[in-house]
């Protein structure tokens, strides 16, 4: 079970946009009492993939978009991992899985979750939303919290945030899929938060 993974952000530095890496640490410490010293069997090569279908729910209402269409190459080139995006229609964000909040950025726009089956998942609301420094974002959870699929994570002032950033397209990325596995979705499909059956991993 990995204890460190990364979220890639754009950070304003004067007049320049600087792409920074914010290291989201402490996963092992936050979860040690829950899992003990033994690695979860679901972290084996086929475990997380087999279990995604039964427990993964749409974290937002909106349109499913292929990750390659996200206007940030860090996501579109799958540098952090495979996944998909949602073009949301409101600011209600729920947990896609049962798991533990591995990290919550101070700006509240990105949440990292380690699912009970071992998958590491990042939900990153919008593009360049780090620049808002938390304005328009309310966290309904904190780091270390256990969450259930469908549990509210964030409340976003959707109209305000949408007016201030280039895009509210929200990537959902799996950072530790086994090598060779691919996320399959139907580009353009409309989903409601809490909906299942829209994603497969092969």
124 as an active site residue: the answer is yes
Phi then psi for residue 177, to 5 deg, are: -65, 145
Neighbours of 74 (CB within 10 A): 19
| Alpha-carbon radius of gyration of the chain | 16
In contact, 32 and 38? CB cutoff 8 Å: no
Q: How many residues does the chain have?
A: 202
Q: Looking at the DSSP assignment, which residues form a beta bridge with residue 110?
A: 124
Q: Among residues 92, 109, 124, 186, which one is catalytic?
A: 124
Q: Which residue in 1, 108, 109, 110 sits closest to 48, CA to CA?
A: 1
Q: Which class for 130: exposed (0-12), middle (13-18), buried (19 or more C-beta within 10 A)?
A: buried
Q: Which residue in 198, 169, 170 sits closest to 184, CA to CA?
A: 198
Alpha carbons 82 and 76: distance in angstroms, whole number: 9
Handedness of CA 27, 155, 64, 133 (dihedral sign): negative
Query: Which amino acids are annotated catalytic?
Result: 124
């Amino acid at each position: 079970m990995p204890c460190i993974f990364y979220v890639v952000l754009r950070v304003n530095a004067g007049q320049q946009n600087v792409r920074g890496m914010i290291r989201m640490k402490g996963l092992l410490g936050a979860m040690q009492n829950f899992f003990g010293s033994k690695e979860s069997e679901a972290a084996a090569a086929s475990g997380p993939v087999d279990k995604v279908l039964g427990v993964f729910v749409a974290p937002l209402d909106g349109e499913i978009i292929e990750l390659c269409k996200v206007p940030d190459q860090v996501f579109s080139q799958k540098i952090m991992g495979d996944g998909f995006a949602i073009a949301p229609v409101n600011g209600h964000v729920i947990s896609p899985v049962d798991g533990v909040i591995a990290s919550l950025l101070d700006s509240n726009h990105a949440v990292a979750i380690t699912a009970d089956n071992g998958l590491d998942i990042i939900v990153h609301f919008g593009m360049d939303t780090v620049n808002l420094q938390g304005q328009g974002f309310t966290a309904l959870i904190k780091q270390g919290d256990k969450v259930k699929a469908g549990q509210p994570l964030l409340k976003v002032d959707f109209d305000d945030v949408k007016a201030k950033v280039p895009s509210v397209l929200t990537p959902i990325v799996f950072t530790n899929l086994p090598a060779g596995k691919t996320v399959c979705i139907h580009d353009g499909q409309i989903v409601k938060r809490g909906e299942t059956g829209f994603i497969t991993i092969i």
